[in-house]
Amino acid sequence: MWCSVVHNARMITPSTKVKSIRLTIPVSPEVHDAFSRIAKAGSMSTGRAMGEWLSDTLDAASYLADTMEKARAAPRQVAQQLHAYALGLSDETGALLDQIRRGSKAAGEVDAQQPAAGGFGPLTPPSSNTGGKVPKNTNQTKRGTS
């Protein structure tokens, strides 16, 4: 099922106002629902929500159009550029994961050296427990002996 949405694209530049172009575009019910929710949350019409979204993503759309035009003219060159981009992205995400792993290991070592909650050692009874027992088979000294 497709819904038809009338869209009023607004582009306002600092020096001049550009006349809006009204479009009728077919969208899926899911797309319509998503933009209806955005419109409701922003107290605006669905068409305006779509128009603002499209205006906000204009740079990405222009980049995609340029890439598609280049791909039509020189598909091999664009495929190589996209492959190089993907490899670079893979390297960056790999480096990020390594950094996270190193950070997690360092945090784990610090946590293991920290005393238990409340600043007490791991074998000290809670401060509210006056009659607590401490296990005797540890390296700590026994009660009553020094």
Extents of the domains making up the chain: 3-56, 65-113
What length does the chain have?
146
Give the global pTM.
0.45
Task: Give residue 33's pLDDT.
Answer: 97
Radius of gyration, CA atoms only, the chain: 31
**Residue 113 token pair:** 């050296």
Of 3, 59, 46, whose CA–CA distance to 28 is shortest? 3
DSSP state, residue 29: H
Task: Give residue 61's pLDDT.
Answer: 96
pLDDT tier at 24, thresholds 50, 70, 90: very high
Whether the CB-CB separation of 3 and 29 falls below 8 Å is answered with: yes
Task: Give the C-alpha separation, 97 to 145, whole Å.
Answer: 51
DSSP-assigned letters across all residues of 90-105: HHHHHHHHHHHHHHHH
